[in-house]
């Protein structure tokens, strides 16, 4: 798969406890991105954060949260990202989505290591 030099980065910020059709929401988003043929997706779990309600979510032992912040990030051509955002509208109830232009300087599948 080739990527143009000028793409969009989609970042989706949700809570770890979010669910869509009996799956973790972040997992459902990644599977949907793959189904739609996006170039890739990465899930990052954060040890601490807060969102629109200003409630702190943390992994510290004394106030362990069951809803840590999770970010799903994807980069692809603008038309594919825009179409994907529209397909997410029913899946994401809370959270935040951002779009920003990015310049792709390298995108290539790594060859399998030789035995």
Tens-digit pLDDT profile for residues 5-35: 999 999 999 998 899 999 999 999 999 999 9
Q: Tell me which long-range contacts 52-59 makes (C-beta under 8 A, separation of at least 24).
A: 52/94, 52/96, 57/15
- In the predicted model, is pLDDT for residue 94 greater than 60? yes
Q: Could you tell me how far CA 3 lies from the centroid of its own chain?
A: 18
Per-residue pLDDT, 1? 77
Per-residue pLDDT, 82? 97
pTM, 2 dp: 0.84
Three-state secondary structure call for residue 25:
helix
Q: Give the length of the chain.
A: 115
Domains, in order of start, for the chain: 6-103 (3.30.70.120)
Tens-digit pLDDT profile for residues 102-115: 999 999 887 777 77
Tens-digit pLDDT profile for residues 51-78: 666 676 666 555 555 678 899 999 999 9
Per-residue pLDDT, 111? 75
């Amino acid at each position: 798969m080739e990527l143009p030099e000028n793409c969009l980065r989609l970042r989706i910020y949700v809570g770890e406890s979010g669910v869509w059709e009996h799956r973790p929401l972040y997992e459902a988003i990644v599977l949907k991105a793959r189904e739609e043929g996006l170039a890739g997706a990465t899930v990052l779990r954060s040890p601490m954060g807060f969102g629109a309600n200003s409630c702190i979510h943390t992994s510290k032992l004394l106030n362990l949260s069951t809803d840590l912040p999770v970010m799903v990030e994807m980069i692809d051509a603008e038309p594919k990202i825009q179409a994907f955002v529209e397909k997410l509208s029913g899946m994401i109830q809370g959270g935040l989505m951002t779009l920003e232009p990015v310049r792709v300087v390298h995108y290539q599948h790594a060859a399998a290591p030789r035995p």
